[in-house]
Structure 1
Amino acid sequence: MSAGLLSAQGEALQKQVQRHLGRCLMRIQQFELIAKALAAHADLAGSAPELAAIQSKRIDKAFTASLGTLVKGEGTAFTNLRTLFSADDQEADALDENKLPQDQISFAFRYRRKLSPEAKEEKLRELDTLVALRNRLVHHFMEDFNIFSKEGCAQALQHLHKSYSEIDRQTLQLHEQLKGLDSVRKLQASFMQSPEFWKAIDGNSDTNSAT
């Protein structure tokens, strides 16, 4: 790698690379914030007195997770994006009736996107591609492109323009899912404050769960 670009034109190209790299990384961080909100709030289940603590734990774990863990982490306290986009009829019930306290009301909430097999395969491929793209930009950009040459800067700019387009597309799509989740949560909160909800609770005194 050469010591640096000597021409004014070369220095200008290098500054463009730096600016567009920063642009990509900021957009990735926006994607991550949306992913963390989805992961933290897509599921909630437990007895009424424990719900706040359960939710707090999910939020804390999701908001300290890496993008890779948010997308496909297993055994986490939150819902990874692969699970969110892989809804099927085989997923276990959110509440285990055998472990629920008998003297308390329990609740469960779950948000999923049910896609066709083809659409699900494409969505999971896109998510994996984004994780790989993020990792290359963050950890290997200087290995991939020689930004101390005009040719390297030109190649880097082309890659960054293409990368931003993909990051932006996926960020906008994921934001639509977050709006959908927010809408469902508001509907649930409204229903739980309604007379119909409490009538259903009072009318089912032999059970301690509501989903």
Structure 2
Amino acid sequence: MTFVVQLAPAEPVTEASPPPVVDAEHEAMRNEVMRKMGRNLLLFQQIERMLKLLIAKSSLAGYVHELHAKQKRQEERVEKQTMGNLVGAFLEDALTDKGRPREAPDDLAGLWFSIGFGLEVDNAYYEERKSALAAAVAERNELVHHFLPRWDLMSMESMRAADEYLDRQRANVLPEFEHLKSLVGALEDGWRQTGEFLLSGEWAKHFSLTDLRHSRPVLLLGDIAQKMGRDDGYVLLNTAGNLLRLHAPEETKALKERCGYKSLKALIVATELFDLVEEPTEKGGVRVFYRMKPGISLEFGETGEQ
């Protein structure tokens, strides 16, 4: 048996076609398109970074010893999120009540710290931000995933169109970039002021004052003033002292010893919640009266502040 194999004639060897010639003007335009593409990508990355910062630092609450670890976990949680997810989280956290400081647990076991950043906005503002950020996400995805297939780098006409497109894209996104930048600035100012407050030692005074105002003896003093005050609101200090010795003797004594107040009058002055007056007696002595200052809330110390 004989097999015959017939080979096709070899193709003639030819040189590769030279690349199309691009003149200097075309090359300059193509480079400009690439530059603007990079500029816009950087703009979107800056928006992502600002969203991550606003989300990670919008609120922080917990016992003082665990705050550093909590902050780190919040930063790690947002680091790998997509821009679309970041926008959703920002709208949910910064533009709702979630950005408000959180209340301490009822069974406190140490020093509790809470800080929150949020904006009080109406529905129109919320919808405006939602729409603008959604448009920014769409612009970013268009640039990252569809820009190169859309344009012909070898066509001068296409490059001119791409150049105009990139300018329009930047103009569309830049207002939201500036808006987020202002929010970041406000957030950083808030954290800076908080840090300065904590380092100044004023926080210790504020904490001590808050603790004093919420003690049972001081709350009893407020209750006595509200229920037993004269027409002008004043109550005889001796009367209040007798009632404290009757209803909270140990707590009043412990509070004086712990805070260093040698008299009930000194304790009342320290709370900054009450007015004091002295009135002469018929025998030439002096009687001390106190009343709650206007605008003071018994449950919260100062009106509107918990």
Could you say which TM-score interval applies, normalised by the shorter chain?
0.7 to 0.9
Structure 1 position 25 matched with structure 2 position 25: no
Q: How does 1:8-157 map to 2 (within 5 A)?
A: 8-72=24-88, 80-88=89-97, 94-95=102-103, 97=105, 102-157=108-163
Tell me which of 189, 193, 208 is aligned to 2:195: 189
Name the amino acid aligned to 1:200. T
Q: Which runs of 4+ in 1 moved over 4 A?
A: 90-93
How many aligned residue pairs are there? 196
Alignment match, 1:77: none
- Going from structure 1 to structure 2, the CA distance change for 1:85 and 1:122 (only over 3 Å counts) comes to farther
Larger strand percent? 2
Alignment match, 1:161: 167
Name the amino acid aligned to 1:12. A
Aligned to 2:121, the other structure's residue is in SS state coil
Tell me which of 193, 202, 208 is aligned to 1:198: 208
Tell me which of 168, 177, 192 is aligned to 1:171: 177
Please report the RMSD computed on the Cα atoms of aligned residues, expressed in angstroms.
2.7
Name the amino acid aligned to 1:122. E
TM-score with structure 2 setting the length: 0.57
Name which structure has the greater RCO, CA cutoff 8 Å, separation 6+: 1
What CA distance in whole angstroms lies between the structure 1 residues aligned with 2:27 and 2:36? 14
2:63–2:112 contact (8 Å) kept in structure 1: yes
2:52–2:79 contact (8 Å) kept in structure 1: yes
Name the amino acid aligned to 1:198. S
1:45–1:108 contact (8 Å) kept in structure 2: yes
What CA distance in whole angstroms lies between the structure 2 residues aligned with 1:93 and 1:179? 19
Structure 2, unmatched stretches of 5+, are 1-18, 217-304
2:59–2:101 contact (8 Å) kept in structure 1: no
Q: Deviations over 1:155-174 (max 9, x none)?
A: 11111001112333222211
Alignment match, 2:22: 6
- Going from structure 1 to structure 2, the CA distance change for 1:61 and 1:4 (only over 3 Å counts) comes to farther
What CA distance in whole angstroms lies between the structure 1 residues aligned with 2:20 and 2:177? 35
Q: Which moved more, 1:196-205 or 1:39-48?
A: 196-205
Q: Which is greater in Rg? A: 2
